[in-house]
Chains A and B, each alone.
Chain A
Amino acid sequence: MKTITSIENIYQSGKFGDYQSKNEEKLIKVSEVKNLFICQVVKYKNLKIDITNKNIDGLNLPKELKTCTNSSTRILWIGPENWLVTSLKKDLLLEINNNFNSNEFAVTDLSHSRAVLEIEGELSNEVIKKGSPLNINDLKEGNCANTVYNGITVTIDFIKDETKTVRFFALRSFGESLYESLTDACLEYGYIAK
């Protein structure tokens, strides 16, 4: 079965905005991240269990506003005892279900319920500033934050400081609005949609 993302029909590749007479390396790169396994892991409230020895794909569960990452998987803190797992490994859900007792944790597969967009480039911070009230000076590689972008609730994952790379997660139904908001914000600087 073919999976269709929420912005499949509106996403356009190419160069847009004020890109002429600019070095291509300096332009913002926008891309949709597809085929990502996404799941939410929540520890039930008032349950006193030690989570320090819990791990997913060899990664411990991160603390406030932090992420843990390896070559295939990222774990984002999205609230107290609440994590978002993203991975290139499609079969990770099986491992999580085996390691996390269903009486202690709620594990929900969200792979088809999120729109994921990535922006890359030195001016990525400027794009975030245009729509979000977040103080991004405090947020570096390895951080993540839930916030709003032009009124859309998003999770922002700060992936890399070098060639500033940031990933936005929004509810699938907000995918189109988020795509329009981000690409509009990029127009001033010029962007390449991969």
Chain B
Amino acid sequence: MLHIKCPYCGIRSQKEFAYGGDATVKRPKLNSEVSDKEWDDFVYMRKSPRGKHTELWHHISGCRQWFKAQRDTTTHEIFETAKINEEIK
């Protein structure tokens, strides 16, 4: 089982969290012209990297906050977590 450090509550069991997807995906700018491909990429297309990956997690059974986590997709080691408005180095 993973232990994940919530930026608000501290280290907790993975049982309390829900995975929320890739944190690097950027939504196309509002009111800008968006092609079908750009929209398709934003909604559906995801990379499946091996190694460090920045992800969104939700402390759903805890403080109910979304935050960012940098995790190794091979070893599951979590290097860093940050509040949603903070950057992961």
* Interface residues, chain A, with chain B CB atoms under 8 Å away: 64-65, 78-80, 82, 133-135, 138, 145-148, 153
* Segment of B20-28, B36-44, B62-70, B73-81 engaged in the interface with chain A: B62-70
Query: What 4 pairs between A and B have smallest CB-CB spacing?
Result: A133-B13, A79-B63, A153-B61, A148-B61
Besides A135-B11, A148-B61, 20 new A-B residue pairs in contact (Cβ under 8 A), listed by A number: A64-B9, A78-B63, A79-B62, A79-B63, A79-B64, A80-B8, A80-B63, A80-B65, A82-B64, A133-B1, A133-B12, A133-B13, A133-B16, A134-B13, A145-B62, A146-B9, A146-B62, A146-B64, A147-B12, A148-B16
Q: What's the nearest-Cβ distance from chain A to residue B7, in Å? A: 9
Cβ-defined contact, B62 with A133, below 8 A: no
Cβ-defined contact, B11 with A146, below 8 A: no
Residue in A80, A135, A146 whose beta carbon sits within 8 Å of that of B61 in the complex: A146
* Interface residues, chain B, with chain A CB atoms under 8 Å away: 1, 8-13, 15-16, 60-65
Cβ-defined contact, A133 with B8, below 8 A: no
Given A65-B9, A79-B8, A133:B15 Cβ within 8 A: yes
Cβ-defined contact, A145 with B15, below 8 A: no
Chain B residues whose C-beta falls within 8 Å of the C-beta of A135 in the assembled complex: 11
Given A78-B63, A80-B65, A82-B63, A147:B16 Cβ within 8 A: yes
How many Å lie between the Cα of A80 and that of B60 in the bound state?
A: 13
Cβ-defined contact, B12 with A79, below 8 A: no
Subset of 28 A-B contacts with CB under 8 Å: A64-B8, A64-B9, A65-B9, A65-B10, A79-B62, A79-B63, A79-B65, A80-B8, A82-B63, A133-B12, A133-B13, A133-B15, A133-B16, A134-B13, A138-B10, A145-B9, A145-B62, A146-B9, A146-B61, A146-B63, A146-B64, A147-B12, A147-B16, A147-B61, A147-B62, A148-B15, A148-B16, A148-B61
Chain B residues whose C-beta falls within 8 Å of the C-beta of A147 in the assembled complex: 12, 16, 61-62
Chain B residues whose C-beta falls within 8 Å of the C-beta of A80 in the assembled complex: 8, 63, 65
How many Å lie between the Cα of A145 and that of B64 in the bound state?
A: 12
Closest chain B residue to A154, Cβ basis: B61
Q: What's the nearest-Cβ distance from chain A to residue B22, in Å? A: 24
Closest chain B residue to A146, Cβ basis: B62
How many Å lie between the Cα of A145 and that of B10 in the bound state?
A: 11
How many Å lie between the Cα of A138 and that of B12 in the bound state?
A: 12
Chain B residues whose C-beta falls within 8 Å of the C-beta of A133 in the assembled complex: 1, 12-13, 15-16
Interface-central residue, A133, A135, A153, by most chain B CB under 10 Å: A133
